[in-house]
Chain A
């Protein structure tokens, strides 16, 4: 920690949050808001004189409220930067006539209530997201009585109690009588592996954390009765099984079965009712203290960052990597990497490993000092452009300029274009080519697919980042769906020109699916809003022409929604079966007549 604090090449911004990110790989412009500390962090020596005189006493969140701190405080003794901080919401008032005690106590004059929040922009080439985790709050699990019974603690509270720097100086004491407990029980999988409350996934660290805690207890209090209530002990890492065996050897009683109910006895100890899965009997244990091995959840900031950076999340709410095995630290967006629990719950060793991997991946991208540009972008065919300005209107990146008055052809800024193809789909004159996904290149795929037995096939468009990846995920999960679906990949669903749909129907496609990222998750800011508009418009026209609009479906399928992809395919097949040969022939006739007109 201190190494990071004093490294000449690390610029540390604490009390800061990223509020906006613009640009693209190689050159991101990141807007950061730094909240005022009210203490000069370079001058403060952390002598603590200010806190001594501060009259405001508040629970200390670092000790999860098991100790107190002042309104001016240091988060913990080894904090980096080693400077005090004022919680301005708790401070009696920076109105000097009200309190001012800390200002007077500070010899170095580091406290300054005139500081205000700062906002600044930093330009960077790569971004590593290491936003960590949130600890599960077990209050909702009423059967365990957390917050109702004082001697029921979370594993993090327990952690603070056995910490030499903690509120009890490392002495394990019961909150109710401050005596050493003679018996302690640990309950595993609290908020993890549960379909009912909390999360369905395994939080990865809780088994070994409990094993560790039992070893600490047995080391300090060999006579203590320690019990662990569990479903499975997952000791899968290097050296883990060894620790687990040591814990068992030291006399810790491992009992298979999670308690169904906990009752508080008059002396504030706890009666645990548990169905022992080995004996098959309901057993009762009276214990002085209970520790809930709480699971890990994604950090609160996850969703905001996901939207800001255009990233994807797994159904668990953690960040989704570009590939679960081969690119485990890369985001699907180039230049962004994950480290630590932001990507999934993991222990310190795995966090450190992943962090080093993310650093290496980021260096791999930056070391040349230059970056190759994406050639899959749009181009204007100047002689066809009528300067209507529609393309500029729909471009999510403001990469297109058109002078509508002077009637000069549209110009695309190649560096700003991200290649969604929305403009090419929107242009009424076919004056924009989307490289590598040109009209002809896509139309020929439709032709090839519908050449034979067209009535038996499902034509589906899928965007590269979400729906196509979702289809891949269905494959990886071996989810079976009807074999008549044929996917055409585009970078964004907004590339799907209405001409492709009309062409498909004309060639005899019974049903057509357009699929893309969920609204708000689009890889191209908000291009999929235009997909939605376009599909609505085509469906209205279909209705007017007397073609059943249901035959064109729009679905949002994320990269993690393999199950949803398979479901949609089953639904499409059901729909396809409802389309008769006569209906298809009728549609082709209608469209041919329309073409003649």
Chain B
């Protein structure tokens, strides 16, 4: 198979990076135990940070718009969003970066909700201290991030469905009716699964087959 060499971009001189930091309240989810404004103020003194704000809902439409406006206005090139887990909203903010003309991989998230405010609910001071650290870590990391580029690869337009019960059958029909080829694998001699053994089914009280 063909190998691919990615062009490596050495991170710009840290002096020249322009970072935007957004500390999300997530309503009260984060703000109830973390002093979001305080965290944003501390972060504004970090090297390379040009804009640092707290924001009610970073993921909301106005929230994203605010970040995008800042990117244009202040010429930001890297973003730190301190909000929920990156496992939840990293794709959201990467898309936002892209639509603002930045490489989506120049984003770093600090997990202030799942791994800070929600697990230290009764220690606002300690939670805020931790939030500051998490944002500091994210800023130092974002300074060194490099743009990355995705490539497209060919894909097989066929689906495998393992199990021919009611769920497998429904998924197979939906895919097939949409024009996709389906391989339906069932370990028994007939499809139907447990459903086939049932007589009348709730809530309609009609036959299952």
Among B16-24, B49-57, B63-71, B137-145, the stretch in contact with A: B137-145
Q: Which one of B114, B129, B167 contacts A472 once the chains associate, using CB atoms below 8 Å?
A: B114
Q: Contacts A125-B158, A483-B126, A483-B129 given; indicate if A489 touches B86 (C-beta within 8 A).
A: yes
CA distance A130 to B164 in the complex (A): 7
Q: Are B174 and A360 in contact (CB under 8 A)?
A: yes
Per DSSP, chain A at the interface is mixed
A163 adjacent to chain B (CB < 8 Å): yes
Cβ contacts under 8 Å, A438 to chain B? 144, 146
B100 adjacent to chain A (CB < 8 Å): no
- Shortest C-beta distance, B50 to chain A (Å), equals 18
Tell me the nearest residue of chain B to A87, going by C-beta: B189
Q: Are A9 and B180 in contact (CB under 8 A)?
A: yes
Q: Which one of A340, A370, A476 contacts B152 once the chains associate, using CB atoms below 8 Å?
A: A370
Tell me the chain A residues, 465-515 only, with Cβ under 8 Å from chain B.
468-469, 471-472, 474-476, 478-481, 483-489
Q: Which one of B3, B155, B172, B194 contacts A368 once the chains associate, using CB atoms below 8 Å?
A: B155
CA distance A360 to B159 in the complex (A): 12
Please indicate which of the listed interface residues A164, A243, A483, A489 has the most CB atoms of chain B within 10 Å of its own CB.
A483
Tell me the chain B residues, 126-182 only, with Cβ under 8 Å from chain A.
126-127, 129-130, 133-134, 136-137, 139-141, 143-146, 148-182
Q: Are A354 and B167 in contact (CB under 8 A)?
A: yes
Q: Are A130 and B168 in contact (CB under 8 A)?
A: yes
Q: Are B175 and A363 in contact (CB under 8 A)?
A: yes
Q: Are A471 and B114 in contact (CB under 8 A)?
A: yes
Q: Which interface class (under 10, 10 to 19, 20 to 34, 35 or more) fits A?
A: 35 or more
CA distance A369 to B139 in the complex (A): 38
Q: Are B163 and A371 in contact (CB under 8 A)?
A: no
CA distance A373 to B155 in the complex (A): 11
A195 adjacent to chain B (CB < 8 Å): no
CA distance A334 to B36 in the complex (A): 34
Q: Are B187 and A17 in contact (CB under 8 A)?
A: yes
CA distance A355 to B177 in the complex (A): 14
Q: Which one of A129, A415, A475 contacts B114 once the chains associate, using CB atoms below 8 Å?
A: A475
Q: Are A339 and B184 in contact (CB under 8 A)?
A: no
A240 adjacent to chain B (CB < 8 Å): yes
Q: Are A1 and B203 in contact (CB under 8 A)?
A: no
Cβ contacts under 8 Å, A451 to chain B? 136
Q: Are A78 and B209 in contact (CB under 8 A)?
A: yes
Cβ contacts under 8 Å, B28 to chain A? none
A323 adjacent to chain B (CB < 8 Å): yes
Q: Are B187 and A212 in contact (CB under 8 A)?
A: no
Tell me the chain B residues, 83-101 only, with Cβ under 8 Å from chain A.
85-88
Q: Are A85 and B180 in contact (CB under 8 A)?
A: no
CA distance A484 to B5 in the complex (A): 41
Q: Contacts A373-B153, A475-B113 given; indicate if A135 touches B194 (C-beta within 8 A).
A: yes
Q: Are A212 and B200 in contact (CB under 8 A)?
A: yes
Tell me the number of A-to-B contacts counted with CB atoms below 8 Å.
376
Q: Are A445 and B137 in contact (CB under 8 A)?
A: yes
- Shortest C-beta distance, A544 to chain B (Å), equals 31
Cβ contacts under 8 Å, A27 to chain B? 153-156
Q: Are B191 and A12 in contact (CB under 8 A)?
A: yes
CA distance A352 to B171 in the complex (A): 8
Among A90-98, A154-162, A256-264, the stretch in contact with B: A154-162
Q: Are B168 and A18 in contact (CB under 8 A)?
A: no
CA distance A75 to B169 in the complex (A): 17
Q: Are A125 and B161 in contact (CB under 8 A)?
A: no
Cβ contacts under 8 Å, A366 to chain B? 155, 157, 159, 180
Q: Are A17 and B185 in contact (CB under 8 A)?
A: yes
Cβ contacts under 8 Å, A471 to chain B? 114-115
- Shortest C-beta distance, B195 to chain A (Å), equals 6
Q: Are A125 and B183 in contact (CB under 8 A)?
A: no
Q: Which one of B129, B161, B172 contacts A7 once the chains associate, using CB atoms below 8 Å?
A: B172
In the complex, per-residue mask of A203-247: 1 if CB is within 8 Å of any chain B CB, else 0: 000001101100110000000000000000000011110110000
Q: Which one of B6, B126, B151, B203 contacts A379 once the chains associate, using CB atoms below 8 Å?
A: B6
Q: Are B163 and A342 in contact (CB under 8 A)?
A: yes
Cβ contacts under 8 Å, B196 to chain A? 1, 62, 76, 78
Q: Are B165 and A359 in contact (CB under 8 A)?
A: no
Cβ contacts under 8 Å, A472 to chain B? 85, 87, 111, 114-115
- Shortest C-beta distance, B48 to chain A (Å), equals 12
A115 adjacent to chain B (CB < 8 Å): no
CA distance A523 to B168 in the complex (A): 25
B123 adjacent to chain A (CB < 8 Å): yes
Q: Are B183 and A122 in contact (CB under 8 A)?
A: yes
Q: Are B190 and A14 in contact (CB under 8 A)?
A: yes
A387 adjacent to chain B (CB < 8 Å): no
Q: Are B159 and A128 in contact (CB under 8 A)?
A: yes
Q: Contacts A26-B156, A448-B133, A483-B126 given; indicate if A411 touches B202 (C-beta within 8 A).
A: no
CA distance A538 to B18 in the complex (A): 38
CA distance A564 to B121 in the complex (A): 19
Q: Are B88 and A323 in contact (CB under 8 A)?
A: yes
Q: Are B153 and A478 in contact (CB under 8 A)?
A: no
CA distance A469 to B198 in the complex (A): 38
Tell me the nearest residue of chain A to B201, going by C-beta: A348
Q: Are A239 and B158 in contact (CB under 8 A)?
A: no
Q: Are B159 and A441 in contact (CB under 8 A)?
A: no
CA distance A370 to B150 in the complex (A): 12
Q: Are B1 and A413 in contact (CB under 8 A)?
A: yes
Q: Are A243 and B178 in contact (CB under 8 A)?
A: no
Q: Are A37 and B189 in contact (CB under 8 A)?
A: yes
Cβ contacts under 8 Å, A347 to chain B? 201-202
Cβ contacts under 8 Å, B143 to chain A? 444
In the complex, per-residue mask of A413-430: 1 if CB is within 8 Å of any chain B CB, else 0: 111100000000000000
Cβ contacts under 8 Å, A370 to chain B? 152-155
Tell me the nearest residue of chain B to A212, going by C-beta: B202
B13 adjacent to chain A (CB < 8 Å): no
A362 adjacent to chain B (CB < 8 Å): yes
Tell me the nearest residue of chain B to A337, going by C-beta: B171
A88 adjacent to chain B (CB < 8 Å): no
Q: Which one of B120, B165, B184 contacts A10 once the chains associate, using CB atoms below 8 Å?
A: B184
CA distance A16 to B169 in the complex (A): 15
B188 adjacent to chain A (CB < 8 Å): yes
A199 adjacent to chain B (CB < 8 Å): no
Additional 6 contacts, C-beta under 8 A, given A125-B156, A359-B159, A472-B114: A11-B181, A14-B189, A128-B159, A170-B199, A372-B152, A415-B2
**Sampled A-B contacts (14; CB under 8 Å):** A12-B191, A30-B160, A30-B183, A80-B190, A80-B192, A125-B159, A323-B87, A339-B167, A355-B171, A356-B170, A369-B155, A374-B150, A433-B8, A486-B134
A-B complex: 5 closest residue pairs judged by Cβ atoms:
A340-B167, A475-B114, A483-B126, A359-B174, A79-B190
